[in-house]
Amino acid sequence: MTASTFIGTDIVSVKRIALLLKEHDDRFKVKSFSINEIEYCDGKANPSIHYAGRFAAKEAIKKCFLSSDLTEKLGLNKIEIISSENGAPVVSAVGDYEYADLIVSISHESDYAIAVAMLVV
Ligand SMILES: CC(C)(COP(=O)(O)OP(=O)(O)OC[C@H]1O[C@@H](n2cnc3c(N)ncnc32)[C@H](O)[C@@H]1OP(=O)(O)O)[C@@H](O)C(=O)NCCC(=O)NCCS
């Protein structure tokens, strides 16, 4: 079978995430992030920036999956992004979906975070 490749991208306002964290804190965190992701972001000097980066990465991954025939919906809490020892983001899980490869890259500045993802099925 020939492999198919899908890409996704997203940009997230750090201010918007900071507001969600301020107003909903645990409810927002638990709805969109795993325990590992929460530990990672909360351990940083400015958690909002890292939550925004992971949020953008999840939306980018979601776009990859929605572009493919794998699913028509995907909750952000089904996606987990951990950090490897050198700091690179690694997708550890997307529900029970099977795929050949899924890579993501995150970047953030004080105002915005962006991410791009590539899925190979
Ligand atoms: C990795 C690197 C390119 C990040 O660039 P940056 O401009 O500082 O930061 P950006 O906002 O663009 O990107 C940050 C994101 O890069 C990703 N990242 C970090 N290390 C990475 C790596 N080795 N490979 C790929 N992606 C990496 C992470 O997802 C990080 O966000 P997160 O911590 O919220 O997950 C840069 O730190 C670098 O060159 N590191 C090399 C090692 C180094 O010099 N370390 C110095 C530590 S004192």
In this prediction the pTM is: 0.93
* Residue recorded with tokens 């993501």: 104
Q: Tell me the C-alpha distance between 96 and 104, whole Å.
A: 18
Q: Tell me the C-alpha distance between 33 and 50, whole Å.
A: 12
Q: How far does the centroid of ligand 1 lie from the alpha carbon of residue 87, in Å?
A: 6
Domain ranges of the chain: 5-120
Choose among 49, 23, 22, 38: nearest CA to 76: 38
**Residues 45-103 pLDDT 10s:** 999 999 999 999 999 999 999 999 899 999 999 999 999 999 999 999 999 999 999 99
Mutate to test the pocket of ligand 1, among 39, 58, 108 (most ligand atoms within 8 A of CB): 108
**Residues 4-45 pLDDT 10s:** 999 999 999 999 999 999 999 889 999 999 999 999 999 999
- The pair of three-digit structure tokens given for residue 68, joined into one six-digit string: 């493919």
Q: Please identify, in words, the CATH class of the domain defined by 5-120.
A: alpha beta
Closest ligand 1 atom number to CA of residue 53: 34
Mutate to test the pocket of ligand 1, among 46, 103, 107 (most ligand atoms within 8 A of CB): 107
- Is 98 strand, coil or helix? coil
pLDDT of the residue at 1: 64
pLDDT of the residue at 107: 98
What is the dihedral sign for C-alpha 43, 49, 53, 56? positive
